[in-house]
């Protein structure tokens, strides 16, 4: 089963993605995590992505699709993958669909983690204190939310018209949200 987790920064996709991956026994990957590793290790991918990431803008679609292609080619991905925040523009949605079709697969479920802007700002401020991520500073967060509204929110309509989108109310206890996620994927 291939499952896409969508939602604004700080919505809890990462936390819930890990739990769901354990429940389903599937690998999970987040383009944000892979890009951060690449930046840390100074790889060519990291060098290309660093400044854009720090500004809070989105990395180019072709770079993201290259990362997705590599992840889907891994043997562990053959039974399905949890895509955590991997699709953030319509060209990415189209590109990921094409990559899945090449492997005779499709996106089976799309889950939207719904959280208010006010809650996101509070969560990211807290995370900044813990993880010290450069792009959790207030200015970068504001740009990330603008990118989300302008470029990622339209992706919802794209999937609504195809796979459908299941909304998760991503506020409250982790276990309560995890229950909604399990119900959404039917486990």
Respond yes or no: is residue 127 known to be catalytic.
yes
Contact code string over 57-96 relative to ligand AMP, x by CB under 6 A: -xx----x--------------------xx-x---x----
Respond yes or no: is residue 36 known to be catalytic.
no
Alpha carbon distance, N-terminus to C-terminus of the chain: 12
DSSP of 86-151: ---SHHHHHHHHHHHHHTT----EEEEEE--HHHHHHHHHHHHHHH--GGGSHHHHHHHHHHIIII
Report the distance separating Cα 86 and Cα 116, nearest Å. Answer: 21
Respond yes or no: is residue 179 known to be catalytic.
no
Is residue 32 part of the contact set for ligand AMP (CB under 6 A)?
yes
Report the distance separating Cα 161 and Cα 165, nearest Å. Answer: 9
Respond yes or no: is residue 13 known to be catalytic.
yes
Is residue 7 part of the contact set for ligand AMP (CB under 6 A)?
no
Among residues 28, 50, 88, 109, which one is catalytic?
88
Active site residue ranges: 13, 88, 127, 133, 144
Q: Using CB under 6 A as the criterion, which residues of the chain lie in contact with ligand AMP when the complex forms?
A: 9, 30-32, 35, 52-53, 56, 58-59, 64, 85-86, 88, 92, 135, 144
């Amino acid at each position: 089963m291939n499952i896409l987790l969508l939602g604004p920064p700080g919505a809890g996709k990462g936390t819930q993605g890990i739990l769901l991956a354990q429940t389903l026994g599937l690998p999970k990957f987040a383009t944000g995590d892979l890009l951060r590793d690449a930046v840390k290790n100074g790889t060519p991918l990291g060098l290309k992505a660093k400044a854009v990431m720090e500004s809070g803008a989105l990395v180019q679609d072709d770079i993201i699709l290259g990362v997705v292609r590599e992840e889907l080619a891994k043997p562990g991905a053959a039974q399905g993958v949890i895509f955590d925040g991997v699709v953030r523009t319509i060209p990415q949605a189209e590109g990921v669909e094409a990559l899945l079709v090449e492997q005779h697969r499709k996106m089976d479920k799309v889950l939207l983690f719904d959280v208010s802007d006010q809650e996101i700002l509070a969560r990211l401020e807290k995370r900044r204190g813990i993880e010290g991520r450069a792009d959790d500073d207030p200015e970068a967060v504001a740009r990330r939310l603008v990118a989300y509204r302008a470029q990622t929110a339209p992706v919802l309509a794209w999937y609504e018209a195809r796979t459908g989108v299941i909304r998760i109310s991503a506020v409250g206890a982790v276990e309560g949200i995890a229950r909604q996620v399990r119900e959404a994927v039917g486990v």
